[in-house]
Each structure stands twice: as C-alpha cells, then as structure tokens.
Structure 1
Amino acid sequence: STSFSLWVNHKDTFTGVTDRDRALTIRKIGEAVEKSLNGGKFNFFNEFISPGHVALLRAADGLIYERKGHTELSIALAEMAGITPAVAICEMLDEKTGGALSKLDAMRYAEENKIPFVEGIEIVKAYKKTKSNLIT
C-alpha cells in the first residue's frame, strides 16, 4: 500500500510551488508534529491548505515491522537519532535522463561527496537492535 495521504501548502505560502514555499511548508509540518507529540494543541486546517505542493506521507503504525518503504525507513532513522519523527524525503534524479538515479550512480555520488550511503537493510537491522536493547 502507498504512504501518500494529502498534498498541502502552508497558509503563508504564495503559490506553494517555489523551493522557498515548499521549505516553509515542510518546516511548519515539522513544527506541527513536534507540538502535537509534546501534547500541544494544533489545528491542522488553520495552518495548511489542500491541495498543495508538498506530499504528506504516513508511515505504517508498525514502521519497519509492518512495511519497509522509504517512509518507514526515514521515520525509523529519525527515531534512532532522537529527533522529531517528521522528515522530508525525496528521490535523487539523474541529471541526464531526468529519471530516478540508479543505485550505482547514487552510491558513486555519495562516495564522491563523502556522504554515507545507507542501505534499507542496514536501517532495519539497526532499528531492530535499538528496539531489542530497549526491551531487555
């Protein structure tokens, strides 16, 4: 099943399509999630409009135990990092074709730019280990 839910813009955006507008929307979504998780009251429909230009993805309740998609993997990473579990994800694109960047090219890009390349299975193993350490 898909993680996609609503497409939104923050109410203070102009068109919602610019990088600045999307960054504002993403930042405000993060703030809303943090406020909500800390017990604060938040009225989503007073802050956001739909349709918009930022896709909200909903992770499966059981995260990687239920689904091992990019959404669940990114939320698992956020949990392990101890940060608010609201993340912005995007697919890397091939500058020549405009299509999705191949795994090999993504690995090459990571190496050239000294960015860690993490496989989904590595996240799953680390998350399960973290969770099992909390239980014992």
Structure 2
Amino acid sequence: DRKNHSSFSLWVNHRETYTGITDRDRALTVTAVAGEVERSLNGGGHDFAAHFRTPGHVALLRAADRLLDERRGQTELSVALAVLAGITPVVTICEMLDDETGFALSKDDAVSYAEEHGLVFIGGQDVLDRWESRRSAE
C-alpha cells in the first residue's frame, strides 16, 4: 500500500559534480533536476541518464500521482504547495533537526525558529485546507 510507504526513489548526482556531497554539488544537482522536470512538463522531452548518475547524494522522492487526494505525506504536501503557488512542481525538502538531540525538530520549535529568523511557517494543515478549498472551487 503506497499510502504507508516512503516516497524515496533514486539517489542521484549531476554528471558535472565531483563527489556530489558538497553543498555546491548538491545545489547543481537539485537545480538540474528542476530544469529537467520543467522541460519535460513543457513538452521538451528529457534525457535523464545523460545528465545524472546514480548512486548519488540527492534523494529523489516521487509524489503520488493525485498528490493529497491520494497520499498525505511530506512529499505530497511539498509538491502540492508548489502547485498551489503556480510554480514547477519540483521541491527540495529537508528535515529540521534539534541541535542538541539530533532528532527531528518539534513543530513548536520549528515555529519558534521561523519567528526568530523572520521566516514564514506553513503547517501541513494549512496546505491541506488550501488544497481542499481549491478542489471545492473546481
């Protein structure tokens, strides 16, 4: 049952990276993946193997085809947010970690971090509510 499994697909590096592990290498890979998806969605075709190699250091996650109507995981929430924003539905996500325990940051701590750094915090329920209201309007 796909609803209860992770969305991990392939781990890739762009072919122009060295080790693939540096921030610069990962940024190149992420940017190139987004460009590849955008070209494909706009009818430009793609040649993934010509630009990427595996295994790599950037995990590709595959969102459910019907996004939040099918699965409500972090991957689908992130891609749905991009769809709602009207941008290419390719996103880079990461887990925020507590700097003392190394475990995932609690929601309250993530909200505090956002406030302290002048960032916007958007919760999963916010995305779900907007997704549902958009669907209701169709």
TM-score (structure 2 length as normaliser): 0.93
Select 2:50's aligned residue among 43, 46, 68. 46
Select 2:126's aligned residue among 117, 122, 125. 122
Q: Which residue of 1 aligns with 2:26?
A: 22
Verify: 1:105 aligned to 2:105, yes or no.
Answer: no
For 1:108 and 1:41, how far apart are their aligned partners in 2?
Answer: 43
Q: Which blocks of at least 5 consecutive residues in structure 1 are unaligned?
A: none
For 2:10 and 2:49, how far apart are their aligned partners in 1?
Answer: 12
Moved more, 29-38 or 109-118: 109-118
TM-score (structure 1 length as normaliser): 0.95
> How many residue pairs align between the two structures?
134
Q: Deviations over 1:37-67 (max 9, x none)?
A: 0001211111100000000000011111111
Taking only the aligned residue pairs, the percentage that are identical comes to 57
SS of equivalent to 1:53: strand
Give, as a single letter, the amino acid of the residue that structure 2 aligns with 1:21.
D
Q: CA deviation at 1:29?
A: 0.2
Q: Which residue of 2 aligns with 1:84?
A: 88
Q: Deviations over 1:54-105 (max 9, x none)?
A: 0000001111111111100011110011100000000111112222112121
Please provide the CA RMSD for this pair.
0.9
Give, as a single letter, the amino acid of the residue that structure 2 aligns with 1:125.
D
SS of equivalent to 2:56: strand
Select 2:62's aligned residue among 58, 64, 78. 58
